[in-house]
Amino acid sequence: MLVSATPAPSPAFWRGKRVLLTGHSGFKGAWLALWLTELGAEVTGLSLAPVGIPNLFTLARVADDLQASHCADIRDAQAVASIVQQTRPQIVLHLAAQALVRKSYAEPLATWATNVQGTAHVLDALRGRADARVAVVVTTDKVYRNREWPWPYREDDALGGHDPYSASKAAAEIVAASYRSAFLAAQGLALATARAGNVIGGGDWAEDRLIPDAVRAWTAGQELVIRNPQATRPWQHVLEPLAAYLRLAERLWAQPELAGAYNFGPLPHEAATVEFVLKLASSAYPSSAISYQKSISQPHEACWLTLETAQARAALGVAPRWGLGEAVARTMAWYRAQAAGQDARTLCLADLRAFEETP
């Protein structure tokens, strides 16, 4: 079956729109902030300070083109409400989160406070705001009660989560649904949740993520140790879900009745194992050594996870532009070019142009 790719974001739509973007100092948030400003949106960021050195937010000079960049914690309800009041956003894209599974085991309470209470603070700040028309809350593909079954999860499957990260994101889905039903729909604000994950792309240096761990190890001339090579995930380039979030916001503006939950990712049969992704990555990176150690003691993580994306294709026209091979190749090329001295912002903008121009 032929599936048309996600339409490129519309500059005519985004130009001049007041957008509040939470989590703009993170990996996905930095890419999205760059894209929104290129589209002409008036973007205000709300996030913690960028974590780690290097980080994409700093290297790509993301703050340069923003209307404002607020360093604030979404666990602080008063700070969130004050920024919303100042910004008067028409569109809210909520990406701020504690987004690491293994960190959630070490810091479960902080994970729950950020992902659940923080989401409630953002949505509560929108109550009674006449300017606000659209909100997209980004959760994860891990919100489902994982049964390790061999078919993809649909939006109406049961929510759950073994680890604190997954469970807190499932809870954020419930928070969003409640705010939509109890408050926001009645005031004319269309609220949707976006379930996507396992993104790759240049500029991610987070701990305990596959490609960043590989780049760190191989750059240092070390062997990459992998704990679960057969884990299967719906991998995608970071620009795929970001394009989907922008498309969702555009459609919600015109058709608020589309508000709800959406899976975003590759076609279900295109999910791939960790081992296969690393095979692609190592072919594009010099001196890449890998060791598979299945017996390593580790916190529980789901082995099999795929998403059914038929609803996003049918209702929104969202489908991938880049296959896995292209996504991995471009990701590794980004890291190699940046390590060789090329400018991170220039590399990001070049990938954005290439993505928009892909038929």
pLDDT of 135 strictly over 90: yes
Burial class (CB in 10 A: 0-12, 13-18, 19+), 340: exposed
Task: Indicate whether 74 belongs to any domain.
Answer: yes
- What is the three-class DSSP state of 263? strand
- Helix-helix angle 164-179:118-125, to 10 degrees: 20
Question: Domain of 190?
Answer: 11-197+234-268+303-322
Q: Cα 138 from chain centroid?
A: 7
- Asked if 300 and 163 touch (Cβ cutoff 8 Å), the reply is yes
pLDDT tier, 300 (very low <50, low <70, confident <90, very high otherwise):
low
Cα–Cα distance for residue pair 95/29, rounded to 1 Å = 7
Q: Say what the pLDDT of residue 1 is.
A: 44
Residue the block writes with tokens 């360093």? 71
Residue 191 maps to which CATH number? 3.40.50.720
Put simply, whether the predicted model's pTM sits higher than 0.85 gets the answer: yes
Indicate whether 331 pLDDT > 90.
Answer: yes
The answer, yes or no, to whether residue 267 has pLDDT greater than 60, is: yes
Domain total for the chain?
1
Confidence of residue 148 (pLDDT cuts 50, 70, 90): confident
Residue 297: pLDDT over 90: no
| For range 123-144, the mean pLDDT | 97
Query: What letter does residue 44 receive in the DSSP assignment?
Result: E
Distance from the Cα of residue 128 to its chain's centroid? 28
On whether residue 170 sits in a domain, the answer given is yes
Burial of 287 (0-12, 13-18, 19+ CB in 10 A): exposed
CB 16, CB 46: distance < 8 Å = no
Looking at the chain, the whole-number percentage of residues with pLDDT higher than 90 is 89
Q: Give the per-residue pLDDT at 228.
A: 87
- Using CA atoms, how far residue 325 sits from 203, 213, 352, in Å, is 18, 19, 17
207 occurs within a structural domain: no
Structure tokens at 40: 């002409």
Average pLDDT (154-174) is 97
Of 194, 44, 20, 198, give the one whose Cα is nearest residue 93.
20
In a domain, 226, yes or no: no
Q: Which residues are CB-neighbours of 82 under 8 A, at least 6 positions away?
A: none
Q: Name residue 159's beta-bridge partners.
A: 144
**Each residue of 15-56: pLDDT tens digit?**
999 999 999 999 999 999 999 999 999 999 999 999 999 999
Residue 94 lies in a domain: yes
Closest CA to 23 of 165, 177, 138, 166: 138
In a domain, 183, yes or no: yes
Q: Is 258 a member of any domain?
A: yes
Among candidate residues 161, 96, 163, 158, the one with its CA nearest the CA of residue 123 = 96
CB 280 within 8 A of CB 40: no
